[in-house]
Structure 1
Amino acid sequence: MLRQVIDIRAELEPFPWINATWTETRLIAASPFRYDRHPSFYVILDELDEGYGCWGDSGTGERGGFTQLLAFLRDETYEEAADYLRARYGELPNDTDEIVLNMPRLNVDKPRVTRIDSAILDTYTYRHPYLGQRGISEAVQRLFNIGYDRTRQAVTIPWYNADGSLGNVKYRRVDSKTFWYERGARPIREMLYGIHIAYQRKIRKAALVEAEVDAHSLCTAGIFAIATGGSAFNRTKAELLLRSPIEEVTLYRDNDAAGRAWRNRIVAELGGEMDVKLALVRRPYKDVNEWHCEEGPIRHGRERKCRTMTFNIR
């Protein structure tokens, strides 16, 4: 059982829960999967409970296991979350997760490939107002080849390899917070979002953020940015960055514990090998995109630092 290996509370505490109540036996909070502020979501924290680590959402009736929840919170695939847990806690039992969440479940045993056929994007050549409503310009959406899956009502966000080939696709529902990735594609842990543009344009200075939409927000303001894809950062991502034309990065972390850990990990990985600068997301905003939406293009007295990263979107 999960209680034999995983510290559920320690894994969940860094994330920004809304209206959260922590007890010895449960975390009760607003659901991370929906746009809602009511405490209708729970995770079992009682190590003596057979359901230790499982979660439920009284608002939708959905329930599931811990690995899928962690994958969502870390903005990565199910397999990557499972790999993280194995690396930290050792081999997991076979009955770790019984997922009934209504989102695509990736096949853990399916081989991964470095690139996938870009023709899959041909059916997504549509635009949805979702990103526009979050302050992202049409020019930036074209730059990153954003599309829309009309069947599954999800914005499509392609992830490209350094050579410009397609490595993965993230699908983000426009009516909830749920997302998933293309089956059998390159793991996000091996990629950096937007790195292909740095190669194409030989960009020397860049902002580094967690989420794709944060990179979109900075690019809309004329500041080139790449994203790690969630709060995880590893040596593979560091090497990808060090091999790129980029010589200096400015970190814009989220205003939460996971964001601080993300910043510290990057500084530890890159310190002495690349110039690393720090920028603060103005409080009370939780991330770059919220700041961008509330106050417009991100200048806010940081023109000196940002001007060196300005680039022509077109």
Structure 2
Amino acid sequence: MKINDVQTKTVPNQNVSLSIGKRIKPTKVLLHVVLIIGAFLMVAPFLWTVSSSLKDMSQIFLIPPKWLPDPVTFQNYPNSLTAMPFDVAYFNSFYITFIVVVLNLLTCSMAAYAFAKIRFRGSNLLFILFLATMMIPKQVTMVPLYIIMDNLGWIDTHLSLIIPSGLFNAFGVFLLRQFIKGIPNELEEAAVIDGANPLRIYWSVILPLIRPALAAFGIFAFMGIWNGFLEPLIYLSSPEKFTVPLLLNTFKGLYFTDWSLMMAGTTISVIPVILVYIFAQRQIIEGIALTGSKS
């Protein structure tokens, strides 16, 4: 009886171990190892930035490099905030980003609704040409756009950052169009029967249904405008009009660069982007998924 009991107790354990062995495949283990290494490589520059922001200049370029600062210099953060007018730069970045995001959500959703639901001659060709602008590098349009801004008198003003970025975003139109195409036409037809015109259908029917896509695109637009460096560098010259990325560049001098203060300022500047990602990562993932669905 004892031998039988032992056998009946060991057989289930063997079955469990066999089932676990079947579930754990070497390819999955290798995939997870590669993903972990890739994730570390992606986050390593940010970790080095945070580490360098807590060092003094004598520790920045040590060979071999030291990840953990010794001693820890927290004074870099208040020094970086007082060395440059970060309060003005933060205000400029926030209000420029807010206006551009609102304009993008409005103009891109209207264009996406037109391309997705309103049939007119040449709509598909026009949409293809519209998407083709995504393949044009910014360097190609840099000089013509600067000439236009100069003729309008918008050089060294925030209008040069707000108007072009707020009124044109091919990626946003593509993203929202993919989502709007998945909305049943019956809802639109019911609104037409009730006497709604296209503008009323867009505002009362389409916009409430595409809120997830609007949230995802808004987050993408926020991160792109907040981190923008090239456009402010080209159009702005007055320090009181600088955005945060452009102000950080002023820490870099011709003969000397205070890397500790620059790293501290950089760490502070990415806090809004990190907070947006933490609280809206679901919408970001949905936005990435939407770009390849509902074609």
TM range (shorter): under 0.3
- Relative to its length, the structure with more strand (as a share) is 1
TM-score by length of 2: 0.20
- Relative to its length, the structure with more helix (as a share) is 2
Question: Which fold has the larger relative contact order, with Cα–Cα distance below 8 Å and residues 6 or more apart in sequence?
Answer: 2
Larger Rg: 2
